Structure 1
Amino acid sequence: MKGRILSGNLRRVLLVRVALPVLLILALILSAGQTLISNFIEERMQRDLQLVARAVYLPVSHAMARNDLEQMQSSMASLFGMTEVYGAYLFDAEGQPLISFGVVNPTQKQAEDALQKTLAGEFDQYERIRGRDVYSFFMPMFDAAGQPNGLLQVTRRHSDIGEQLKRLAYGSWAGFGFISLLILGILVLTHQGAIGRPLERILRSIQRVEAGDHGHRAAVDGPSEIRQLAAGLNGMLDAIQQAEAREQEQRLAREVIAERLRQTETLAALGQLSAGVAHELGAPLSVVDGRASRLQRRLQDDRDIHELDDIRQQIARMASIIQQLLSYGRSSRAKPRPLDLAALLRRSQSLIAGEGFDVEVESGPEAMLMGDSLSLEQALINLLRNACQACPEGPVRMHWKLDQKIHVYIEDAGPGVDPGLGEQIFEPFVTTKTPGQGSGLGLAIVKRIVEEHGGQILVRRSELGGACFELVLPLETPEQEVYA
């Protein structure tokens, strides 16, 4: 039973565990108070009867001394007329009734016993007279010599006292019932206002979070305990959200690490492949190119010479692809040295001009960087070549600026790079050129070289309308000799 009560709702627990003990204590106090009040009322009603008897004692005593029967009857009649009196009786010294007023009269035996008891003075008792329960008060009568010469008995119905006490009990318990209901009602209302509604709001907040609204937080209001509960719930939700965010970040970090590991493995595999291709194809291609050159010098037919020239061009293309594979799979082993940025860009412009491409280089602030000039030149030439091939009619522009780092921009007015490709254009064998126009290794080589120099490469839309490749490189202030 106790377990079922404790498992009920908070309102029931409050009523059973708080209100009920309080009401039980109040009931015990009321019961004890009723006992005290009942005793007081009973004593008061007895005392009232005794006062009535004492009020007629002197007139009756004087009348007995004079043997004035008429006066005795008059005095006794006035006594019986009072509402507190149920019966009034006067006996002589032998217990013989002289005057009786009442529904029932005491027996001779009761009168004689009462006379014996009054020898010690006044007394009272509850007794039964001819089947009626009464309360009797006895007063001895004395003659002029001080000798007992009679007995005055005044009675009151016991039921009068009982009914008075019963009315008191009924009224007390009725009032107690009303007060109990009032207390229970106040407890229910105050519980609903101070505890029930705040707890219901917290429960609704929990249900919203359970339904998927993870950003919801409970309102911190109500009594201090409810506020602490709401604050604790919000803190727990914040901690869970932070843990989920950390888990998400860790998951993304693991994915990035896994992707980098895959790329590293791909680079390693490409490096091995490049070394094998260079070893297996480099020498045969050189032999084929040498023999084609000798045949070209001996032949006289222009058509045969032209066909051999086409063969040598394809051999050169194959050699270029092999060289790109070697460049992609092989890191620079040159010792970094301080380089003048402007001279490096001008030299790259000159080299690409030798291939028949025109590039505009805008002047910029002086800057130095640490690196391998040959590798950086290769990266710049690859970017410039791509820009010129994408925009044969121009313009192609190269410029730079400084903040905490060096920012080199290569822009063209060509079709640009599809935004959907994103970082994929820097992966090996990914190209936007038509088949046969590129190997897809140029930008991958550029990215490798830039990252080897501690930088990064970005691509976005150019102000010229085409693509803009941005090289971000560390800015150095060399203390040694600067190499152009």
Structure 2
Amino acid sequence: MRFPSIFSNLRLVLIMQVALPVLLVLAMILAIGLSMVGQFIEERMQRDLQQVARTIHLPVSQALERQDLDQLQNSMASVFGITEVYGAYLFDANGRRLSSFGVVNPTKEQATDALEQIVEGEFAQYERIRGRNVYSFFMPIFDATGQPNGLLQVTRRRSDIDRELTELKYWAWGGFGLVSLIILGVITYSHQRAIETPLQKLVESMRRVSQGDREHRAAEQGPIEISQLAKGLNGMLNAIEAAEKSEAQQRSAREQMAERLRQTETMAALGQLSAGVAHELGAPLTVVDGRASRLLRRLENENDVKELNEIRQQAARMTSIIQQLLSFGRSSRAEFRELDVTSLIERAEALLANQGYRVNLVKGSMATIKGDSLSLEQALINLLRNACQACPDGPVELSWEQGGKQLQIHVDDAGPGINEEQKTQIFDPFVTTKAPGEGSGLGLAIVKRILREHQGEVVLSHSPLGGARFSLILPLVLTTDSGTTA
């Protein structure tokens, strides 16, 4: 099992690798400073004691020279009254103690050693007097001839100096500890506010994205580095989203292209099959119809005549289906030419009227398209016939309009319309909404093929009349009258 490192937390990293090294440097500086300050304080306290000794040196020398013991005692007593002084001692040239003020007195051996050292002048030293650590300052006493005839010793407890130095260290290190806590607290608070909170928000944004919220974007807040990190994350998400959209579009385009290719191949195969079947069935059906016609002229029995007429009707229906198969399988080879839309639509309406269907014609503006008139007439007749059959009591309306660079021819009916399930398959071959035996399912497939050959499309929508609307959308050509695209 792998345990997390203590440096895995950014706050601990800041404390361990930033705050602590800084505090260690400050501690070293403080230690050096305390050493220098302690030395300065110790020297100052020694100088104070030396100054006290020098203050009474002259009165004591005069009193010793005059053998004035009262003045000598008073002078020594005045020194002992100073709080910094632990003891004051006066010795003659033989090391005999003449005056002594203090808790403990130096031994004669210590006094003799000091007399030997003052030959070269005053001096100071740390020593132990009867088990007590003191700082002693020694000054020689001279007679009128300049010869040393005594020794003045003034002492101060070593503990006084050590206590003041210790108090200084306590206050210094205590202040340093307080400042360190304040620095650590400031770093922790600053990290929490300036770094940890923005990072937590950034991590939360990453978590939301990883859980599927692909629309979420991180807030670009906090220090510039974190803000740039959030900005980079958002840019990466935007790039991923754009790449996914592009990939989806390309995949959709490939699927559509594959579907169109499949449909094209299917339509080509169906066209070839339909042409072959129609060719093979056309001649036998013609023979059947001809023989039935001749039999009708010879027979007089009413039932036989009725049955022969039904044979001829079914043969005619089969012939119509064969013609549709031939039309479905045969592409237009006619040369496209400019066609007047009004004339084209009126011819189709007239041909349909000859078949007994009535259509309301709503004329639009003049327009010109390019194509094969016979194929476009067939597409219009197929749509109009379907509309009239879906709505035998009417109305069926034929209209056209221009939109931008396109012509839209609308065939509307008030019939029941086409349900949603059939809309996706209505243009496929052999798919029909009519009752069995009433349609071949090739009419709309032929319309779609003709429109595709003319760089157009057929669109199914809801009609204002309540039924279905089939719209033929074809490209317009520039007219010589206006000189612009209609």
CA gap of 1:48–1:192, structure 2 versus 1, over 3 A, is: same
Q: Which residue of 1 aligns with 2:166?
A: 166
Please show how residues 85-234 of structure 1 align to structure 2 within 5 Å: 85-234=85-234
**What is the correspondence of 1:395-414 to structure 2 with a 5 Å cutoff?**
395-403=395-403, 404-414=405-415
How far residue 478 of structure 1 moved from its aligned partner, in angstroms, is 6.6
- How many Å separate the matches in 1 of 2:238 and 2:478? 47
Change (3 A) 1:387 1:3: closer
Cα separation, 1, equivalents of 2:174 and 2:466:
96
Q: Aligned-residue CA RMSD in angstroms?
A: 1.9
3-state SS of paired residue (1:334): coil
**1:269 paired to 2:277:** no
The amino acid that maps onto 1:320 is: S
For residues 177-210 of structure 1, give each alpha carbon's deviation from its aligned partner in whole angstroms, at most 9, with x where no partner exists.
Answer: 1111111112212222222222222222222223
Letter aligned with residue 159 of structure 1: S
Instruction: Identify the residue that residue 483 of structure 2 maps to in structure 1.
Output: none
| Alpha-carbon distance in 2 for matches of 1:391, 1:345 | 20
Partner of 2:464: 463
Identify the residue that residue 290 of structure 2 maps to in structure 1. Answer: 290
What is the aligned partner in structure 1 of residue 438 from structure 2? 437
Q: Deviations over 1:110-166 (max 9, x none)?
A: 222222221221111111223222111010111111111111111111111111111
Distance 1:121 1:432 in 2: 136
In the alignment, which residue of structure 2 is the partner of 1:253? 253
Asked if structure 2 preserves the Cα contact closer than 8 Å seen for 1:338 and 1:478, the reply is: no
Deviation of the 1:242 alpha carbon: 1.9
Letter in structure 1 aligned against 2:393: E
**Code of the aligned partner of 1:383:** L
User: Residue 442 of structure 2 aligns to which amino acid in structure 1?
Assistant: L
Matched to 1:265, the amino acid is E
Q: Deviations over 1:361-413 (max 9, x none)?
A: 22222222111111111111101111111122222221212232111111222
Shift of 1:3: 8.4
In terms of mean alpha carbon deviation, does 457-466 or 434-443 score higher?
457-466
- Residue identity opposite 2:338 in structure 1: P
For 1:246 and 1:20, the matched residues in 2 are separated by 52
Number of the residue aligned with 1:239: 239
SS at match of 2:5: helix
Aligned to 1:36: 36
Instruction: Sort the Cα spacing of 1:162 and 1:212 in 2 relative to 1 into closer, same or farther, 3 A.
Output: same
Write the mapping of 1:57-72 to structure 2, written as runs, cut at 5 A. Answer: 57-72=57-72
The residue aligned with 1:321 is 321
Query: What percentage of aligned pairs have identical amino acids?
Result: 63
Q: When the two structures are superposed, what TM-score results if normalisation uses the length of structure 2?
A: 0.93
Verify the 8 A CA contact 1:23 1:180 in the aligned structure 2: yes
- CA distance in 2 between partners of 1:287 and 1:147 (Å): 173
Spell out, residue by residue over 1:412-436, the C-alpha distance to the aligned partner (whole angstroms, 9 max, x if none): 2222222442242111111110000
Q: Any gaps of 5 or more consecutive residues in structure 2?
A: 481-486
Amino acid at match of 2:382: N
Paired residue type of 2:123: F
- Residues 275, 330 of structure 2: 8 Å contact kept: no
Partners in 1 of 2:81 and 2:366 — Cα distance? 135
Distance in 2, matches of 1:465 and 1:246, equals 39
1:223, CA displacement in angstroms? 2.5
- Looking at structure 1, the residues matched to 4 and 115 of structure 2 have their Cα atoms a distance apart, in angstroms, of 67
In the TM superposition, what whole-angstrom CA distance separates every residue of 1:232-284 from its partner, at most 9, and x where no partner exists?
22222222222222222223223222221221221122022113312332222
The alpha carbon displacement at 1:27 in A equals 0.8
Partner of 1:447: 448
Confirm or deny: 8 A CA contact 1:124 1:136 kept in the other structure.
yes
Whole-Å Cα distance in 1 between the matches of residues 465 and 87 of structure 2?
132
Is residue 399–residue 410 contact of structure 1 (8 Å, CA) maintained in 2?
yes
1:198 is aligned with what amino acid?
Answer: P
- For 1:433 and 1:149, the matched residues in 2 are separated by 151
CA 1:286–1:478 in structure 2 vs 1: closer, same or farther (change >3 Å)? farther
1:482 corresponds to: none
Choose 417-426 or 432-441, whichever is displaced more.
Answer: 417-426
Hey, which bits of structure 1, 4+ residues long, moved more than 4 A?
Answer: none
1:367 match: 367
Contact 1:194 1:222 in 2 (8 A): yes
Q: How many residues are aligned here?
A: 477
**2:473 partner amino acid:** V
Mapped to 2, the partners of 1:472 and 1:92 lie a distance apart of 139
Query: How far apart are 1:35 and its partner, in Å?
Result: 0.4
| Matched letter for residue 113 of structure 1 | D
Structure 2: distance between partners of 1:197 and 1:246? 35
* Aligned counterparts, 1:293-308, within 5 A: 293-308=293-308
